[in-house]
């Protein structure tokens, strides 16, 4: 009987300890302050994970494979299995290849996409997952402003037209994320022609603290006029170390350097995490 009581006490103490740890972890997870933007380390591709001050989760692109799950697993709370919005900037493998795995692991509230035609198998797989999970699908269009609460907004700058028949890079979603006076310009693989159009359309309203350099630092993006209009204090390049494309190209590095932008690349730093209080950014 004494042995049973001893075992009972041990079980009760263990239960209370585990419960307190669990509660502490939940409270810690929900006590976020500020906007967190993480450029994930997924090799040659794009994947950007955003958390709002109250804990809403947004994933912009998903890399080309299930390696995205490892990055999300360490960037998100262990108990969090919900992503509020997934944004597919355009349907190239190095941007959407990891999404089927994401849909298999997480409940996804909404899928934002540009509306470009895609007959690739990865697009079919993504379509199947979205249909099966009854995920809300939203077509990006200039002028749309998505309110994530807490003063966090995502403003769509492009597409401004039907992009069904455009080349996929040219159809990329370009959007500005703002929180207070802090801002990040997200560009997908948008090429020079679209950048020049946006300079003509928006001018220095493109001004942002942080620029996600287009197309992994390729010379096909990040033109000088565009970078001058954005005037980023920091430019982030998402590319794989030693990739076969030679990204980032020297021309792009020279343009960014000329505009006095600090440059960070996932090919050197791994995951890059930035936190804003609505005024200033801190690199974690």
Give me the residue label for tokens 């999404």. Answer: 99
Q: What average pLDDT score do residues 26-51 get?
A: 82
What is the biggest distance separating any 2 CA atoms in the chain, rounded to whole angstroms?
A: 83
- Give SS3 for 165: coil
- Are 21 and 56 in the same domain? no
Environment class of 279 (CB within 10 Å of its CB; exposed 0-12, middle 13-18, buried 19+): exposed
- Are 217 and 246 in the same domain? yes
- Are 17 and 87 in the same domain? no
Question: Which residues are registered as beta bridge partners of 274?
Answer: 37, 283
**Contact (Cβ atoms closer than 8 angstroms) between residue 82 and residue 106:** yes
- Are 166 and 25 in the same domain? no
Domain containing 124 — which CATH number? Answer: 3.60.15.10
Predicted structure pTM score: 0.89
List all residues 6 or more positions away from 19 whose beta carbon is below 8 Å from its beta carbon.
Answer: none
Q: How far apart are CA 152 and CA 193, in angstroms?
A: 29
* Model confidence at 33: pLDDT above 90: no
- Are 207 and 222 in the same domain? yes
- Are 140 and 277 in the same domain? yes
What is the domain extent for residue 7?
A: 1-31
Q: How far apart are CA 124 and CA 129, in angstroms?
A: 9
- Are 170 and 243 in the same domain? yes
- Give SS3 for 190: coil
Note the pLDDT of residue 168. Answer: 97
* Model confidence at 124: pLDDT above 70: yes
* Model confidence at 30: pLDDT above 60: no
Note the pLDDT of residue 5. Answer: 55
From the list 4, 168, 180, 183, the residue with the least C-alpha distance to 95 is 168
Residue 248 structure tokens: 């980032």
- Are 115 and 246 in the same domain? yes
- Are 3 and 39 in the same domain? no
Which has the minimum average pLDDT: 18-27, 106-115, 134-143, 167-176? 18-27
List all residues 6 or more positions away from 105 whose beta carbon is below 8 Å from its beta carbon.
Answer: 69, 72, 81
Q: What average pLDDT score do residues 7-29 get?
A: 46
CA 83 to chain centre: 12
Give me the residue label for tokens 């912009």. Answer: 60
Q: What average pLDDT score do residues 104-124 get?
A: 96
Domain count, the chain: 2
CA 4 to chain centre: 53
Task: Give residue-wise pLDDT tens across range 56-106.
Answer: 999 999 999 999 999 999 999 888 999 999 999 999 999 999 999 999 999
- Are 21 and 46 in the same domain? no
Q: What average pLDDT score do residues 222-248 get?
A: 98
From the list 41, 42, 71, the residue with the least C-alpha distance to 57 is 71
**Cα separations (Å) of 14 from 7, 18, 20, 192?**
10, 6, 10, 60
């Amino acid at each position: 009987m004494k042995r049973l009581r001893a075992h009972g006490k041990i079980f009760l103490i263990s239960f209370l300890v585990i419960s307190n740890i669990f509660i502490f972890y939940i409270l810690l997870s929900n006590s976020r302050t500020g906007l967190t933007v993480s450029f994930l380390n997924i090799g040659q591709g794009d994947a950007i994970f955003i958390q709002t001050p109250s804990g809403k989760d947004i994933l912009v692109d998903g890399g080309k494979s299930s390696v995205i799950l490892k990055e999300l697993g360490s960037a998100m709370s262990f108990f969090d299995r919900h992503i509020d919005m997934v944004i597919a900037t355009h349907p190239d493998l190095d941007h959407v290849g990891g999404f089927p795995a994401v849909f298999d692991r997480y409940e996804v509230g909404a899928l934002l996409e540009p509306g470009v035609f895609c007959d690739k198998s990865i697009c079919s797989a993504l379509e199947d997952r979205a249909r099966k999970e009854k995920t809300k699908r939203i077509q990006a269009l200039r002028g749309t402003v998505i309110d994530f609460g807490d003063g966090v907004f995502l403003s769509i700058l492009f597409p401004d037209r039907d992009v069904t028949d455009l080349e996929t890079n040219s159809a990329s979603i370009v959007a500005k994320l703002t929180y207070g006076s802090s801002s990040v310009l997200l560009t997908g693989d948008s090429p020079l022609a679209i950048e020049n159009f946006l300079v003509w359309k928006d001018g220095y309203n493109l001004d942002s603290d942080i620029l996600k350099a287009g197309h992994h630092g390729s010379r096909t993006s990040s033109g000088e006029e565009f970078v001058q209009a954005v005037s980023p204090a920091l430019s982030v390049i998402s590319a794989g170390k030693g990739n076969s494309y030679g990204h980032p190209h020297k021309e792009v590095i020279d343009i960014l350097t000329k505009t006095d932008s600090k440059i960070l690349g996932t090919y050197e730093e791994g995951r890059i995490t930035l936190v804003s209080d609505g005024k200033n950014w801190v690199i974690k």
